[in-house]
Amino acid sequence: MNIASDFKVQRPAFLSEHPKELFIDGKWTPAISGETFETINPSNGQVLARIAAGAAPDVAMAASAARRAFEGPWSHFTPYERQACILKLADLVDRHFDELSLLDSLEMGAPLSRLRANSHKRAIGRLRFYAGLATAIHGQTIENSASREMFTYTAREPIGVVGAIIPWNAPLTSAIWKIGPALATGCTVVLKPAEQASLSCLRLAELIIEAGVPSGVVNVITGFGESAGAALAQHADVDKIAFTGSHFVGQKIIQASAGNLKRVTLELGGKSPDIVFADADLDKAVMGAAMGVFGNTGQVCCAGTRLFVERSIYDEFIARVAKFGSDLVVGDGLDPKTQIGPVVSKEQLDRILSYIQIGLDEGATTLSGGKRMLDAPLANGYFLPPTVFGSVKDDMRIVREEIFGPVVCAIPFDTMDEVERRANATPFGLGSGIWTRDVKKVHRLAKSIKAGSVWVNCYNVMDPAVPFGGNKLSGYGREGGVEHVDDYLNTKSVWINYN
């Protein structure tokens, strides 16, 4: 295993120069309770900052600020003016990306070098995409048969106040995926970042004001899920919840939203199949399958965690995936050599390790990884090497349940019918992969796999214009793509009788 070390530590100005309070109505505001919590750097276990712990009374303040902005200044912005704000925000995010990505890397451990390449493109690309949509929203004129002297048109109206609840695995780009469509449609937002990673969302809130968006349009309530998140999900004056996270919390959100029948969209977890046929370009497939599960230290909702490999190449292929994983450089997110950072927290590390133990107890064997990395300089961080399980059975918990760490179950298969059935034998339906040169296999599986995305000879590729989301326990609603804004809009039908 390669371990990165020896790099220059940077400390973003935001940590010392800005308050880490709630951002309500354009102002920094301490939590009404006065409570705070620590945010920890998972690369070394050190405290980065203390952050305000918002709760129900703070959520109520933020929701009423968002309502005032929705009905007041923001409602006077034309689509063109909203577009101009989003484009300016894209420029500001671009200009401050070194700082924003440093905050994310420090707080959740992702390699800074990867954030500054992939996430930079994602963040700016998404904002510019939603800017384009801001001036493209329109209703229809509909000929109706009720009367010859009557016509109908539809208007698309912003749904109102959106509660956005996001996880920690991609804080900045997740926030943009909720805020972008809200700004494009004229909605307002109360954003609840994950308690493990709030800093880039707070900095983003300041940039949103700098971009010319009125105070109160985007508010940020930091804090815990059971208090701040739950209060947002049940608040009677919030019209929609856009949630990304686990299906357990997704189910709670649906229940909490029932009081005022909020619109809910859910992007939840997965146990995605990645299927490799013997005829594939195996060099590409090894790298694609490995990074499809080890990338972001496996903390990706659509990670290809069930790796089905045709039996004739199984032994060779999984040995190569194990070696690829073992050759990746694990280290502090700030080290330019790091390819795999730590997992986000001690709690998450313990959860993954307990799954590894469950797998071993159930009779699976590890081909690589499986143990916490405790040698210097990683001893105080939450590091786990890429881990490959073989000898697994479909009914094992490690094959059925989402682990959310750098752990893959490698499973041999013999026939197309068999792999089709086993790939779909999951309550989830988020991502999937197919590696083959045979177009017939591609089309058959692309049709029969029950998942929101099918990647063929690639994995986890994203583009702002392409919808992403799940079926079954992986949730509903799509983020990205032109239809994304539909979930932020109501349709009004207007009947005009000119008789």
Q: Is residue 472 part of the contact set for ligand ADP (CB under 6 A)?
A: no
CB of 60 to ligand ADP, least distance (A): 15
CB of 158 to ligand ADP, least distance (A): 23
Q: Is residue 271 part of the contact set for ligand ADP (CB under 6 A)?
A: no
Q: Is residue 220 part of the contact set for ligand ADP (CB under 6 A)?
A: no
CB of 309 to ligand ADP, least distance (A): 28
The residue range among 181-189, 224-232, 420-428, 488-496 that interacts with ligand ADP, by the rule CB under 6 A, is 224-232
Active site residue 458: no
Binding mask 231-260 for ligand ADP (x = CB under 6 A): --x-----------xx--x--xx-------
Give the residue, chosen from 12, 109, 229, 464, that forms a contact with ligand ADP under the rule CB under 6 A. Answer: 229
Q: Kindly name the residue from 85, 201, 301, 409 that is annotated as catalytic.
A: 301
CA-to-CA distance for 141 and 152, rounded, in angstroms?
Answer: 6
The residue range among 13-21, 226-234, 302-310, 487-495 that interacts with ligand ADP, by the rule CB under 6 A, is 226-234
Active site residue 409: no
Give the residue, chosen from 109, 111, 186, 225, that forms a contact with ligand ADP under the rule CB under 6 A. Answer: 225
Q: Which residue is nearest to ligand ADP (CB)?
A: 225
Binding mask 164-193 for ligand ADP (x = CB under 6 A): -xxx------------------------x-
The residue range among 183-191, 220-228, 456-464, 465-473 that interacts with ligand ADP, by the rule CB under 6 A, is 220-228
Give the residue, chosen from 134, 159, 194, 217, that forms a contact with ligand ADP under the rule CB under 6 A. Answer: 194
Q: Tell me which residues touch ligand ADP (CB under 6 A).
A: 165-167, 192, 194-195, 224-226, 229-230, 233, 245-246, 249, 252-253
Which residues are annotated as catalytic?
267, 301
